[in-house]
Amino acid sequence: MSYNFEKYLCRFNIYLKQWYNTDSELVKKNLRLKEGHTERVIENIVELSNLLHLSERQKFLAEVIALFHDIARFKQFYYYKTFDDKKSFDHAEEGVKIIKENGFLNGISVDDQYRILSSIKYHNKKTLPIIKDDNEKLLARLIRDADKLDIWRIVGDELEKKDEPSISLGYTGNSKFNPEIVKLIKNEESVDYKLVRSTLDFKLVTLGWIYDINFRETFFLIRKNKVLDPILNSLPEIPEVLSIKKTVEDYVSKLA
C-alpha cells in the first residue's frame, strides 16, 4: 500500500471551496483561520511523529487525522458564525459524519478508517476514554497534543492583539478570574469550559491542558518553540494568577 497523502489533501481542498462561496468577510476570515490551524496541526503531528520514530503507516494515518480533524469547523462557521460547539454542534461528531458521507477515507483499510474516525471523534473531549487498540490509542493521543500546540499559539498570539470574539468564544476581561479554576489547576485537574467567565479564565483553562499532554516529545516542542510564552506573558500581575504561571513553567521544565 502506498501512502498517498496528496490524494486526501485534494479531497479536503475540493470540499473546502464551497464554504468560501460567500460575500461575508467575517466568514472568509474565520475559514482562513481554521485552514491555517489545520496546516499547522499537520506540521505539528509530522514533527511529533518524527520525534517518536513512528512507522510510515502510522505517520500517514496521523497526517490524515490532522487534515480532517476540524473538517466540520468550516460548515460550523458558515452557518452559525461561531466556533462554540455549545451554540452549534459538536464539531468532532459532525466531522465524523461529514467524512463518512463524502467518502473522504476511501482507499484506506476499514480498520484504519475506524482508528482515524475514533481519533477525530475524541479529539475535543475533555478526556480520552479507555482505548484498547494500541494503534488507535497512539493516534488519538497524537492529535490531541498536536492540536493543543497550535491552539496555545492562537490563544497567545491572536487573543491579545485583536480580541477575536471567535477565538475567545465571546469572553472579555483580563483581570477577573474564577477561583475554582485556579484551585483545579493547582490540583493538576482538568478544567471544564463551563467555569469560564472571562478571557483570563479562558487562558487559564487552556494552560491547564498541560496535564493532558501525552508525550514527553510534546513538552520538548512546547519548550523549544516557547509555545506557552505569549499566554504566560499576557497574564496580569495577580498573586494567584502568577502562582499558576509558576506551576505551569515548573511542570513543563520538569518534563521537557
**Closest-CA residue to 64 (of 139, 152, 145):** 139
In the complex with Fe ion, which residue's Cβ is closer, 63 or 70?
Answer: 70
- What b-and-e string marks burial along 38-76, b requiring 16 or more CB atoms within 10 Å of the CB? bebbbebbbbbbeebebeeebbbbbbbbbbbbbbbbbbb
Rounded to an integer, what distance in angstroms lies between the CA atom of residue 24 and that of residue 95?
23
* Nearer of residues 71 and 105 to Fe ion, judged by Cβ: 71
Cell numbers found for residue 144: 490531541
Q: Residue of minimal CB distance from Fe ion?
A: 70
Query: Minimum distance from CB of 91 to Fe ion (Å)?
Result: 6
Looking at the Cβ atoms of 151 and 255, the one nearer to Fe ion is: 151
Closer CB to Fe ion, residue 174 or residue 218? 218
Residues that bind Fe ion (CB under 5 A): 70, 124
* Identity of the residue, 124 or 234, whose beta carbon is nearer to Fe ion in the bound complex: 124
| Contact in structure between 186 and 210 (CB atoms under 8 Å) | no
CB of 210 to Fe ion, least distance (A): 18
Number of neighbours of residue 106 by Cβ within 10 angstroms: 10
Amino acid making up residue 232:
L
Question: Could you tell me the smallest distance in angstroms from the CB atom of residue 69 to Fe ion?
Answer: 6
- Crossing angle (nearest 10°) for helices 91-102 and 110-122: 150
Q: φ, ψ for residue 174 (rounded to 5)? A: -115, 20
What's the 3-state SS for 52-80? CCCCHHHHHHHHHHHHHCCCHHHHHHHHH
Nearest residue (CB) to Fe ion, 83 versus 177 = 83
- Cβ pair 69, 8 in contact under 8 A: no
Q: Is the dihedral of CA 25, 26, 30, 33 positive or negative?
A: positive
For Fe ion, the closer of residues 70 and 136 by Cβ is 70
